[in-house]
């Protein structure tokens, strides 16, 4: 299992000054930033696109961009995000497209790969891809909006993914996203999760160093 990693979600940052929100993360010496990309089709919301990531790079942000594509046609947007400075690109299993080819394309462009499951998608749906990814993201809310309640029923799915990871000596990160705070992260950690996306709870935390320290100690 990887060391616990707090991964703040830019979606909950200040959209009039996203570079300042990213700098808050850098100042805490947290290495990752979760970037939520929404298309208004796969999820009923819009967020930002590759130009936002490129602008953050131009503003000097060096964080590892964990780019979560909530898109019906993610395969059409791999190049723009890789060019914009994404480090890892994760794609959902639910829409119909060439998943394997898309993961190969992400890797060919020099990025790490992730596969994502919605709360109601069973673990078995991503089982054939586990050896090809650097990260598996088990959504703990229905994607589309920040600030929703954690779905506790997902912990058993996390446990299943962790069992496959261990039994097959795989090394992918096991990420959770949605409704994560210190308490819900602990429940996920007990199931085997190691990478914790936190939007609302991170940006609302009044003592961010203490918040980050609680995750580091998980």
Structural tokens at position 114: 């992730």
Count the helices and strands in the chain (H runs, E runs): 8, 8
Closest approach, Cβ 202 to ligand DX5, in A, equals 7
| 66 is a contact residue toward Zn ion (CB under 5 A) | no
Round to whole Å and give the CA distance between 30 and 66: 13
* Catalytic residue check, 194: no
Q: Which does 208 bind (CB under 5 to 8 A by kind): ligand DX5, Zn ion, none?
A: none
Closest approach, Cβ 166 to ligand DX5, in A, equals 26
Q: Residue 33 or 103: which CB sits closer to Zn ion?
A: 33
Among 52, 200, 205, 218, binds ligand DX5 (CB under 6 A): 200
| 68 is a contact residue toward ligand DX5 (CB under 6 A) | yes
Of 137, 133, 134, the residue nearest 121 (C-alpha):
137
* Catalytic residue check, 120: no
Round to whole Å and give the CA distance between 70 and 91: 7
Q: Is 27 helix (H, G, I), strand (E, B) or coil?
A: helix
Is the separation of the CB atoms in 61 and 22 below 8 Å? yes
Q: Residue 12 or 61: which CB sits closer to Zn ion?
A: 12
Give me the active site residues, please. 36, 177
Chain residues that interact with ligand DX5, rule: CB under 6 A: 9, 11-12, 34, 36, 68, 141, 143-148, 177-180, 197-201
């Amino acid at each position: 299992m990887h060391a616990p990693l707090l991964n703040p979600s830019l979606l909950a940052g200040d959209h009039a000054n996203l570079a300042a929100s990213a700098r808050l993360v850098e100042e805490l010496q947290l290495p990752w930033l979760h970037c939520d990309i929404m298309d208004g089709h796969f999820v009923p919301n819009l967020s930002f696109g590759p130009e936002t990531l490129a602008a953050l790079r131009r503003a000097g942000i060096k964080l590892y961009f964990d780019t979560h594509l909530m898109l019906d046609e993610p395969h059409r947007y791999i190049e723009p995000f890789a060019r914009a400075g994404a480090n890892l690109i994760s794609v959902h299993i639910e829409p119909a497209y060439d998943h394997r080819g898309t993961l190969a394309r992400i890797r060919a462009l020099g990025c790490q790969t992730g596969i994502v499951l919605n709360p109601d998608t069973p673990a078995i749906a991503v089982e054939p891809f586990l050896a090809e990814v650097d990260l598996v993201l088990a959504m703990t809310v229905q994607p589309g909006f920040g600030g929703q309640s954690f779905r506790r029923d997902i912990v058993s799915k996390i446990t299943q993914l962790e069992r496959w990871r261990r039994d097959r000596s795989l090394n992918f990160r096991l990420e959770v996203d949605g409704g994560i705070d210190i308490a819900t992260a602990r429940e996920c950690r007990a199931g085997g999760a190691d990478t914790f996306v936190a939007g609302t709870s991170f940006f609302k935390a009044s003592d961010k160093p203490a918040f980050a320290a609680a995750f580091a100690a998980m």
